[in-house]
Amino acid sequence: MISQKSNYDAIVVGGGPAGSTTAALLAEKGHDVLVVEKEKFPRYHVGESLMPFCYFPLERLGLVDTLMESGNPRKYCVQFVRQDGFLSQPFYFFQHFDHPSSTTWQVWRSEFDQMIMDKAREYGAEVMEETKAKNLIKGQDGKVEGVKVLSKDMGELELRAPIVVDASGRDCFAAHKENWMVRDPELKKVALWTYYKNAKRDPGLDEGATTVAYLPDKGWFWYIPLSGGMVSVGIVAERDYLFNGSTKDHAEIFQREVQNNEWIKEHLAEGEQTGEYRITGEYSYRNRYCATDGLVLAGDALGFLDPVFSSGVFLALKSGVMLADEIDLALQSGQAVTSKSFENYGKRMQSSIETMRKIVYAFYDPAFSFGDLVKRGDHLRAALTDCLIGNVDDQDFQELFDSMSDLAKLPEPVEHGLAQASS
């Protein structure tokens, strides 16, 4: 039952992993939290492969046992495949990090996101589905004081809280209102994907592996085994490469590229394509600020990074946990929640994103290969594996990046994503 009240301790825009995690952990701490979600859950979402260090936010949420008992395929490694079908030595997470988190999962996002939203409800958060955020409410001093929404059931509402969390995903509700979005100058890809039933799976531990299979000009396939005999398979490449003039038909483009990787061709031959072909621009971006007075950004609403290393859900969950803790401290202080409350959050998220961004840039450099990198020493393979599992907090990756820079052009760090100076 949705209440008619209009004042809360915190309002979260968006019920995906970042928003529902923030809401759940804030509600668990006793705060009055509202989640505003534009869709009706469960809903479809791409991005099915989890990073191992998703384990720790999921542990905070009390959901690890639920996933352990689920029928979701276990993910023990990431593997890379050349165009000719040659499979590199997989990066087995457990060989590097002896902890239950070294096993992660491939999940249907409709089920996974619903699970976290249900946890938010269980802890006492109110959830208003089919409700779209329209505008921020600001005071005379410019401080965000709430949000105007349009609810399917209740029409236009003005909702107020000391803090609004924008977890609206790639809609970037608040960032668009504030004109904060900055696109990455290099990472401008397009993704085209679909699903196959009963496609081939590798044996043993590799059955649930995420596979990155190369295409010409640094394009690539993802291959993600899911429950129910299904596989998520998609292409990420430059738009001009995919739409090269030969056809505009998505199915024809997809099947054309299947022929350009022997491993993908072999694995899909046994399966049956099902459902539609979907396409989206995978443009990477990061917003200028993570917070202003009364407002903070979480997950993809803060920034989106090319999906090659499956970092999206991990960064979303991580941001949700950090924000719940920071907002709790701010609310308990009895002081106004300002951008200053999120200085630490901004720095930590920026560090994680910059680390992953360097690895993504290296991946797309024509001169770079992970094989050449790890030949330089086991310590580099270990550092790279830390990045691939999400173990990026309080780590010194300088030697890794120095070695990478010998083989690839790495990006200069950017200052985007820090907290805005308080007015």
**Amino acid letter, residue 171:** D
φ, ψ (nearest 5 deg) of residue 47: 105, 60
Render pLDDT for 57-111 as a digit per residue (tens, 0 to 9): 999 999 999 999 999 999 999 999 999 999 988 889 998 888 999 999 999 999 9
pLDDT of residue 281: 87
Q: Is the peptide bond before 162 cis (omega within 30 degrees of 0)?
A: no
Vertex 349 angle, CA 57 and 283, to 5° = 105
CA dist., res. 84 & res. 236, Å (int): 18
Residues 6 or more apart from 185 whose CB is under 8 A from it?
Answer: none
CA dist., res. 131 & res. 110, Å (int): 18
Average pLDDT over residues 363-380: 91
Is there a contact between 207 and 201 (Cβ–Cβ < 8 Å)?
yes
Q: What is the maximal distance between C-alpha atoms in the chain?
A: 63
Confidence of residue 423 (pLDDT cuts 50, 70, 90): low
Q: Give the chain's domains with CATH numbers.
A: 1-75+105-188+284-423 (3.50.50.60), 76-104+189-283 (3.30.9.100)
Q: Select from 296, 370, 333 the least CA-distant residue to 143.
A: 296
DSSP 35-47: EE-SSPSS-----
HSE at residue 140, side-chain half, CA atoms within 13 A, is 0
Helix axes 17-28, 312-333, angle to 10 degrees: 30
Pairing of β 104-105 and β 33-36: unpaired
Residue 287 pLDDT > 50: yes
Confidence of residue 1 (pLDDT cuts 50, 70, 90): very low
CA dist., res. 275 & res. 130, Å (int): 25
Going 46 to 48 to 52 to 55, the CA torsion angle's sign is: positive
Rounding to the nearest 10 degrees, give the CA dihedral for residues 365, 219, 352, 91: -90
Instruction: Tell me the average pLDDT of the chain.
Output: 95
Average pLDDT over residues 18-27: 98
- Does residue 44 sit in helix, strand or coil? coil
CA dist., res. 217 & res. 237, Å (int): 8
Residue 246 pLDDT > 90: no
CA dist., res. 203 & res. 314, Å (int): 27
Render pLDDT for 248-285 as a digit per residue (tens, 0 to 9): 999 999 999 999 999 999 999 999 999 999 999 878 99
